[in-house]
């Protein structure tokens, strides 16, 4: 075995010392832990939370959704349960009144965001969706839009 | 106060009092050391891995070992089917005996040694061989293939590394002309620590000691990723805690011995001897914890080859050279 060769012993010992140097440097460097409930990680812009409806630029009272049903038809998991809307006076296209997303089966694939003809859907950055019942994850995106509109 | 002690001494004799005080002291050191080491291991591991380690349980996680102890005490003592009952129950008890006996001869300070036996080195080495017996019993009595393989590997490793341990110590003994630990420490008074005279012996002793205590990089017998948990797979709750405790106490004894033989024991300027002793010992304990997260695990054949082909010839050569130089 090459073990009794003095040169390889010295080389081996030197590499061990170098290794020790690496770990002791790491010991004195600051920790990278983000202590979650007290500190929060900044969410990157392309984070995929559940989807949200985007407001219309010209008329912020309504969402861009025209209730065509493309997202509902194309969802591979069938997570989009109900998209309903009505035609209002003065609006050229339909306005969404209810949009039920079952987040328990959503895989955040992004097909609904991609196929929407009016770019009405976008990913939100909400990750605190744990709850005690399945219904906690059934989101009505129109109601959420109304809530965000009220607090703006 | 002195009156009552003198009265008690007239009845049972000073030796008995000294024994009791020594025993209490040893138990306190063993338990405190286990608590400190569990905390230190997790904190040091955490910071080397750039994370925090325990921090919730007390300030800086200092009460974490107590939480661990309570958890282990509350666990169910599950005895698997078909174990060899006497062996299975005996193993965690036997592993503690050599550990406690080794504490008797360690000199914590000039006058803080339970008993300075004049063959101190022999006592420590002989009793550390006994812990090998306990591992064998644990592995066989568990009725589990993984335990058996783990314990067999551990025994081979322990036997192989006892020899360089002894040979490196013999160089120190040659320089001191005595097997007693007190004499060895006293011979290093005034700055003449043996680590300067015998660096090779120091390295060989420390490496062989790390292998003896089954710590990484030599922890194949209890390698978590390879053997479930090696020879203590089948032990739960308090029995596992005893194995755990014995391992940490062995680490402490190894570091205490290294400071005694090579780093001048309790000698040091200004501060009382016992503080220097613990400072040096815990510095070496930190080095052992440091090793754990730096080095990969040694493969079993590499481990045995390392001992038989490298450490034993080197320590033997060191012994011969020491003897030759002393003669001249």
User: DSSP states of A126-144 as a string?
Assistant: ------SSGGGGEEEHHHH
Closest CA to A57 of A2, A146, A118: A118
* pLDDT at residue A80, rounded to an integer: 93
Domain coordinates in residue numbering, chain B: 75-327
d(CA A119, CA A71): 11
pLDDT at B216 over 80: no
Beta strands in chain A (DSSP E): 51-53, 80-86, 95-102, 121-123, 138-140
Per the confidence metrics, is the pTM higher than 0.90? no
- Residue B223 has a pLDDT of 62
The four Cα atoms A16, A21, A27, A33 give a dihedral, to 10 degrees, of -80
Phi–psi pair at B302, nearest 5 degrees: -65, -35
B34 touches chain A (CB under 8 A): no
Give the pLDDT score at B273: 86
Please give the pLDDT value at position A37. 85
Tens of pLDDT, residue by residue over B10-54, are 778 888 888 888 889 999 999 999 999 999 999 999 999 999 989
- Residues of chain A contacting B, Cβ within 8 Å: 1, 3-4, 9, 16, 19-20, 22-24, 26-27, 29-33, 35
Tell me whether the omega of the peptide bond preceding residue A43 falls within 30 degrees of 0, making it cis: no
Q: Name which residue leads in pLDDT, A4 or A74.
A: A74
| Closest residue by Cα to residue B240 from B72, B71, B80, B86 | B72
| Interval B264-319: pLDDT, tens | 888 888 888 899 999 999 999 999 999 999 998 888 888 899 999 999 999 999 99
Distances (CA, A) of A15 to A12, B288, B294, B295: 5, 17, 11, 10
Interface A–B counts its CB contacts (< 8 A) at: 45
Tell me how far apart the alpha carbons of residues B290 and A19 are, in angstroms, rounded to a whole number.
Answer: 10
Provide the pLDDT confidence category of residue A91 given band limits of 50, 70 and 90: confident
The pLDDT of residue B228 is 62
Nearest to B256 by CA among B281, B282, B287: B281
Which pLDDT tens digit goes with each residue over B73-130?
888 888 888 888 888 888 888 888 888 888 888 999 888 888 888 898 999 999 888 8
pLDDT surpasses 90 at A76? yes
Number of helices (H) and strands (E), helices first, in chain A? 4, 5
The whole-angstrom separation of Cα B134 and Cα A87 is: 83
The alpha carbon of B68 is separated from its chain's Cα centroid by a whole number of angstroms, namely 21
| CA-based nearest distance B257→chain A, Å | 23
Domains in chain A: ranges and CATH = 51-151 (3.30.70.3270)
Report ipTM for this prediction: 0.81
Task: Report d(CA B52, CA B45) in Å as an integer.
Answer: 9
Contact at CB, A29 and B310, closer than 8 angstroms:
no
């Amino acid at each position: 075995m090459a073990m009794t060769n003095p040169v390889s012993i010295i080389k081996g010992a030197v590499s061990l010392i170098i290794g020790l140097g690496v770990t002791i440097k790491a010991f004195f460097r600051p920790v990278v832990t983000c202590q979650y409930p007290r500190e929060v990680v900044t969410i990157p812009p392309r984070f995929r939370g559940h989807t949200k409806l985007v407001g219309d630029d010209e008329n912020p009272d309504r969402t861009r959704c025209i209730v065509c049903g493309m997202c509902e038809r194309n969802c591979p998991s069938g997570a989009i349960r109900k998209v309903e809307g009505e035609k209002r006076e003065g609006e050229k296209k339909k306005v969404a009144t209810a949009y039920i997303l079952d987040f328990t089966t959503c895989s955040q694939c992004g097909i609904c965001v991609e196929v929407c003809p009016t770019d009405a859907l976008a990913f939100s950055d909400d990750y605190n969706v744990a709850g005690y019942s399945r219904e906690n994850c059934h989101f009505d995106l129109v109601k959420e839009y109304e809530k965000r509109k009220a607090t703006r | 106060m002195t009156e009552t002690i003198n009265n008690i001494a007239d009845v049972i004799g000073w030796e008995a009092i000294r024994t009791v005080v020594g025993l209490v002291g040893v138990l306190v050191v063993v338990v405190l050391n286990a608590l400190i080491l569990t905390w230190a291991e997790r904190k040091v591991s955490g910071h080397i891995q750039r994370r925090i380690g325990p921090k919730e349980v007390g300030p800086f996680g200092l009460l974490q070992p107590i939480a661990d102890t309570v958890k282990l005490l509350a666990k169910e003592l599950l005895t698997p089917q078909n174990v060899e009952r006497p062996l299975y129950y005996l193993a965690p008890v036997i592993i503690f005996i050599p550990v406690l006996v080794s504490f008797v001869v360690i000199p914590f300070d000039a006058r803080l040694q339970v008993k300075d036996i004049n063959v101190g080195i022999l006592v420590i080495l002989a009793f550390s061989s006994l812990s090998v017996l306990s591992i064998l019993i644990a592995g066989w009595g568990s009725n589990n293939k993984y335990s058996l393989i783990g314990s067999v590997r551990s025994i081979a490793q322990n036997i192989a590394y006892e020899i360089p341990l002894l040979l490196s110590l013999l160089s120190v003994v040659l320089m001191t002309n005595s097997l007693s630990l007190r004499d060895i420490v006293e011979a290093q008074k005034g700055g003449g620590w043996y680590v300067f005279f015998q660096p090779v012996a120091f390295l060989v002793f420390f490496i062989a000691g790390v292998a003896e205590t089954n710590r990484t990089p030599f922890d194949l017998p209890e390698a978590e990723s390879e053997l479930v948990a090696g020879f203590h797979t089948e032990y739960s709750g308090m029995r596992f805690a005893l194995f755990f405790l014995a391992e940490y106490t062995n680490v402490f004894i190894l570091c205490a011995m290294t400071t005694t033989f090579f780093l001048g024991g309790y000698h040091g300027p200004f501060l009382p001897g016992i503080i220097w002793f613990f400072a040096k010992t815990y510095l070496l304990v930190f080095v052992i914890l440091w090793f754990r997260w730096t080095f990969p695990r040694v493969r079993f054949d590499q481990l045995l080859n390392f001992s038989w082909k490298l450490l034993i010839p080197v320590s033997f050569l060191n012994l011969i050279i020491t003897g030759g130089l002393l003669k001249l």
